[in-house]
Amino acid sequence: MLVPPRTVKRKGRRAAYRLEPSYWELTLTTPRHGDRPFHICHIDHTELDVELVCSSTGRNLGRPWLTILIDAFSRRVSALFLSFDPPSYRACMMVLRECVRRHGRLPQVIVVDGGKEFESLYFETLLARYECTKKTRPPAQARFGSVCERIFGTTNTQLIYNLLGNTQITKEARVVTASVDPKGHAVWTLGRLHDRLCEWAYELYDTTVHPALGQSPRDCFVDGMARTGFRNHRVIRYDDAFRMMTFPSTTKGTALVSPGKGVKINHLFYWSSVFRDPTIEQTGVPIRYDPYDAGIAYAYVGNRWVTCCSEQYAVFRGRSEREMMLATAELRKRLRHRSVNTQLTARKLADFVASIEAEEALLLQRLRDAEARHLQPVTERSQVVRKDSSPAENSAHPGFSVEPIMIPVVPASSQPEVFEEY
């Protein structure tokens, strides 16, 4: 690849990158975007240019983050995830979970940038478990992710810039006045924006002719599946075993079972009746927790995952991991300023989370979490797995079963149309 030497000397390689020649024809050595659907997919994040408000209070909650998984071959949006939280392993896990829910499989190759969230142990473990290859594109070379970058631009021009509260004008800060400030015109909530974004991505964009393909992404996807086959051996069941793989664990991955207390996860003890077994006490068990509900966690005991409830469950129920992290940091700071013992206990943390002084520090995050819970009318704790289900029904591995836990369910009326049968 030729690089203008004068620009490199004056401004550096990053400034000269946009002057490099593009590929005008395909050859045997040309980088490709995959040979079939689900061969190569891209994951990336962007902060949408629109201000959102709380559905109950009307308070401005800021701009949301959009995470997209797009199929490079057909340019079809395989899954998307919308949240107020900045890019993290949680967004990566949720967009992969949504892909399996919609299509029943994961791509063979996933292309990501150099973000820390893609280096997460949980993200790489999930990909390794389902035989997905992760490829990291070179830094500061956006053309390697042009498929994902282009869909972000299309989303803005076709949808976001047509909404009240869009932040186009803030790119020229000197011309912004109170009468045109996007914060004063924001009317969209996270739930409503998510519904319209799904409608645009899965219906309008999916059925519009793509200039690079000469046909719509949906038609390209269907034709590609008919020509190259569905590959049934890549099918992944959206069951408890898969959902458990999308939950994170601690750095160690296991926790010691303390008699009468249970396992300790992120400063909190979690208890289940199975811990009464004397043979389990004082042993290490694999653990996982729900990043959107600090009230429950999971421990792998007796070849099954069992649900554990936290101490001070009434306080921590429904609290997200991010809110608990903010509360922990704020409490540590206040204890340190008072020159008192900074050792955290569940009781101290529960008292602080429930106190009035925590309201100001955590109110914005609580409002954002409440809006995120509205994205799914039926939450992850709305349906229980059948107790009489056999291990084979819950996992592809013999002897693996899951104690009745709550799983996410989406009403049939809101499920998008799926085309895997081709």
Q: Name the residue among 121, 366, 362, 160 with its Cα closest to residue 250.
A: 121
What are the start-end ranges of the E strands in 27-114? 40-47, 52-53, 60-62, 65-71, 77-83, 109-112
Beta bridge partners of residue 255, listed in sequence order:
285
DSSP state for residue 175 in the 8-state scheme? G
pLDDT of 408 > 80? The answer is: no
Which of the two residues, 103 and 30, has the higher pLDDT score? Answer: 103
Q: Which tens digit of pLDDT belongs to each residue from 82-117?
A: 988 889 888 999 999 999 999 999 999 999 998 898
Question: Which 3 state secondary structure label does DSSP give 256?
Answer: strand
> What are the backbone angles phi and psi of residue 401, rounded to the nearest 5°?
-140, 165
377, amino acid identity: P
pLDDT score recorded for residue 58: 82
Give the Cβ contact number of residue 317 at 10 Å.
Answer: 14
Residue written as token pair 């592809």: 396
Which of the two residues, 19 and 418, has the higher pLDDT score? Answer: 19
pLDDT of 397 > 50? The answer is: no
Structure tokens at 219: 């038609």
- What's the rounded Cα separation, in Å, for the pair 200 and 187? 19
pLDDT score recorded for residue 42: 95
Q: Which residues lie below 8 Å from residue 99, measured CB to CB, with a gap of 6+?
A: 69, 78, 79, 105, 106, 107
**pTM > 0.75:** no
Q: Name the residue among 196, 171, 170 with its Cα closest to residue 185.
A: 170
Q: Name the residue among 165, 152, 174 with its Cα closest to residue 75.
A: 152
**131: pLDDT confidence band, cut at 50, 70 and 90?**
very high
In the predicted model, what is the mean pLDDT of the chain?
Answer: 80
Percent of the chain with pLDDT over 70: 77
pLDDT of 59 > 90? The answer is: no
240 burial type by CB count under 10 A (0-12 exposed, 13-18 middle, 19+ buried): buried
Q: At what angle do helices 357-373 and 346-354 cross, to 10 degrees?
A: 80
Domains in the chain: ranges and CATH: 29-236 (3.30.420.10), 254-402 (no CATH)
pLDDT of 14 > 70? The answer is: yes
pLDDT of 399 > 60? The answer is: no
Kindly list the distances between the CA atom of residue 380 and the CA atoms of 306, 367, 405, in Å, as whole numbers in the listed order.
16, 19, 9
Mean pLDDT of 22-51: 81
Beta bridge partners of residue 339, listed in sequence order:
none
Q: Which tens digit of pLDDT belongs to each residue from 279-327?
A: 998 999 999 988 888 889 999 998 889 999 988 888 888 887 777 777 7
pLDDT score recorded for residue 266: 82
Structure tokens at 315: 């306080």
Nearest-5° Cα angle at 172, 178 to 60 = 45
Q: Which tens digit of pLDDT belongs to each residue from 190-208?
A: 888 998 999 999 999 999 9
